[in-house]
Structure 1
Amino acid sequence: MIFSSPRSRRLLLATLLTGSGLCAASVNTASLISSAASVSCIGWKVKGICYWLLCTPFGCSVKTSVKVEHFIPEAVVSAYSGPGDNPWTEMSAVSGAAGSGESSVIGSLSGFSAGGGQQVMKAPGLRKQNLHFHYADAYGHPATTLIGGQIAGYSCKSAATPFVPYFVSSLDALVWRSGLPEGLYPEALIPGQRELGSQAGANMWGNIYPRSGFVTQEDAYKSAAVVAQRVADVITRTGQLHVYQPLVGQQSPGYWPPAPVKENTGIQNHKWQRLSPTLSTTCAVFPDTGATVSQDGNYAWALWQPYSCCKRRGQTFLSSTDFS
């Protein structure tokens, strides 16, 4: 198509500028892979020593190997406003297709309308409250196998598979929108149980339970972060009442996968790397600081988890010793 008139050229320029603005707030697979090359996020270190029993026709002996620990980018967790708005560009079409199916299923089964966004509520004498609803997805990080398992004995194998959908909220629509049955759990009913941040620390961001898409929070970034934390809480456990695929490693001799994600436990349990609307080269845990509020309400983070492993030096694993 040739744009010859001044009006057509102005229209093309406006379209390109608009498109570039949208791309600036999104991420693609190439940028995700390059962002994973973060020394601070990987946090590689020698953790201890492993002991192996090696037996040959000439006798048995104890061999040792170095025990290492490092973080691996496990999943890209997104929280966004509408179907197809996943800021990971290659996965937005997948999320959009699932969202289209959700609209018809939800409408026919429950009479609810599918959609996202926020609602501002005001009451006399009270601060305004924003009720946010976020769609959320978790796909295997494209660099998870590039960071994990490349050097035997010095990098650990990841339990995640690139691009695999571990959670798509549109497929979990009934639970994700109703909050049931988790809204009746003690974690949801007892104040102080399973909360991101704390009242005492003046950084209370929201409750983990019920693990649904609704969050009451004035700050849009904080509400999206609460949803991301809920998704990580679900996918790193088995037997949860959600439609999802567990992202859980199986411990074996000389291999220690991470524990389930738990809020307020520091960087020893997990880390978050901001991907959208701004890309960060460092990792932190929620509640964090210095975040940028997205103009379109779409956010994405990389979930990093710690693995420990050591190189096999014999037929039988005896034990391991961790350095203090």
Structure 2
Amino acid sequence: MANIALIFPQKSSATINTPQIIKSAVSKDCISWRVSGMCYWLKCTPFGCVTLTSMKVTHFLPQAVVSTYVGPGGNPWQEMAFVSQTAGGLESSIVGSLTGVTAGGGNAAEAKVQGKRRSSLKFKYADAIGHPSTSIIGGSVAGYSCSSSAKPLVPYFLSTLDSFAWRTGLPESLYPEALMPGLRELGTQISANMWGNIYPRSGFVTQTDDDKASAVIAQRVADIITRTGQPHVYQSIKDLPRPGYWPPDSVTENTGKQNHKWQRLSPKLSNSCAAFPDGNHPAAVNGNQAYALWQPYSCCERMGQTLLRSVDYKAPQ
């Protein structure tokens, strides 16, 4: 019975489509383009060598659309819902054959709060798929925009293919980051805005607010895909620097908007970006949410064979 989902996909509760995502990327607040410095190049020809300069620019690029949802096929990105639906059918078949139960998500534990039932322990699936605008914005104008290491529509993480680690939290539940309070947490207890722990990077999160629970899951996914050699099934979007090209560092929580930004896509589309924690927001009625991950790149147009040095201007506050 578990294979029926592969043959007859269920209708997705999609709330956003590709054209809307592409349009949403035209955001001055998210891109934050600026002239950040100057590059000095050495260009040599048979007639001698000269020093040339080029402008260094820094701006954010949309790397991936990270979706969190409560059941296979629940990805709110309409055109990509079939990916999670198909992979989810495969996962259900494997989990069902091993455990005799159907793989699913949602709220694992509930408690009554002020007469209403609210969940504290939740499980969510998650996908990270290359943002459709990453190549449209990145590298579009030589010398004025940088290319992204991410590729449009490429699946970088599907929790249904990372089922063991995503459902058990192993081996990360044994890491110091997972065992020591205050280490690798989204927000802080001192600031009274602690949303949840980053480790173990699994689909289970303890949080009564469903919007914050989804944000923690999204942060975990970004943490995985922007690094290499992680104990998960995924593709990394991390790139290496080269002369005239400086890709972003790995996503790290509580670093403000210098390291990365999030743009909310679903259930309500935002035209601005922020870093988590970013206040209180209404959760999706169906528990399925989507965010765009933005990261900063710096680059300058190559004017010679050798980059002598680059000078950075002070970033505006």
TM over 0.5: same fold?
A: yes
Question: What residue is the counterpart of 2:234 in the other structure?
Answer: 244
Task: Mark the runs of 5 or more structure 2 residues left unpaired by the alignment.
Answer: 1-10
Task: Mark the runs of 5 or more structure 1 residues left unpaired by the alignment.
Answer: 1-18
1:249 Cα offset (Å): 1.5
Contact 2:137 2:145 in 1 (8 A): yes
Question: What residue is the counterpart of 1:99 in the other structure?
Answer: 88
Contact 1:51 1:64 in 2 (8 A): yes
Question: What residue is the counterpart of 2:159 in the other structure?
Answer: 169
Question: What residue is the counterpart of 1:62 in the other structure?
Answer: 51
1:130 Cα offset (Å): 1.2
1:293 Cα offset (Å): 1.1
In 2, distance between residues paired with 1:119 and 1:189?
22
In 2, distance between residues paired with 1:36 and 1:290?
23
Contact 1:106 1:174 in 2 (8 A): no
Aligned pairs for 1:68-217 within 5 A:
68-110=57-99, 113-122=102-111, 130-217=120-207
1:285 and 2:275 equivalent?
yes
Contact 2:110 2:119 in 1 (8 A): yes
Deviations 1:154-200 (A, max 9, x none): 10001010000000000000110000000000000001100000000
Deviations 1:216-253 (A, max 9, x none): 00000000000000000000000000000001112111
Contact 2:107 2:119 in 1 (8 A): no
In 1, distance between residues paired with 2:171 and 2:100?
19
1:227 and 2:217 equivalent?
yes
1:128 Cα offset (Å): 7.1
3-state DSSP class of the match of 1:285? Answer: coil
Contact 1:141 1:302 in 2 (8 A): yes
1:262 and 2:252 equivalent?
yes
In 2, distance between residues paired with 1:196 and 1:111?
35
3-state DSSP class of the match of 1:228? Answer: helix
3-state DSSP class of the match of 2:122? Answer: strand
Contact 2:263 2:293 in 1 (8 A): yes
In 2, distance between residues paired with 1:210 and 1:247?
21
The structure with the greater share of residues assigned to helix is 1
Q: With structure 2 as the length reference, what TM-score do the two structures score? A: 0.91
Deviations 1:12-62 (A, max 9, x none): xxxxxxx9xx56xx1100000000000110000000000100112221111
1:45 and 2:34 equivalent?
yes
In 2, distance between residues paired with 1:141 and 1:33?
8
1:314 and 2:297 equivalent?
no
The aligned length equals: 300
> What letter is aligned with 1:119?
A
In 1, distance between residues paired with 2:79 and 2:132?
11
3-state DSSP class of the match of 1:198? Answer: coil
3-state DSSP class of the match of 1:66? Answer: strand
- Name the Cα RMSD after superposition: 1.7
In 1, distance between residues paired with 2:87 and 2:244?
39
Question: What residue is the counterpart of 1:30 in the other structure?
Answer: 19
1:291 Cα offset (Å): 1.9
In 2, distance between residues paired with 1:188 and 1:129?
22
In 1, distance between residues paired with 2:26 and 2:118?
41
1:317 Cα offset (Å): 0.9
Contact 1:177 1:213 in 2 (8 A): yes
> What letter is aligned with 2:155?
P
> What letter is aligned with 1:40?
D
Q: With structure 1 as the length reference, what TM-score do the two structures score? A: 0.90
3-state DSSP class of the match of 1:78? Answer: strand
1:120 Cα offset (Å): 3.4
**Which structure would you say has the larger Rg?**
1
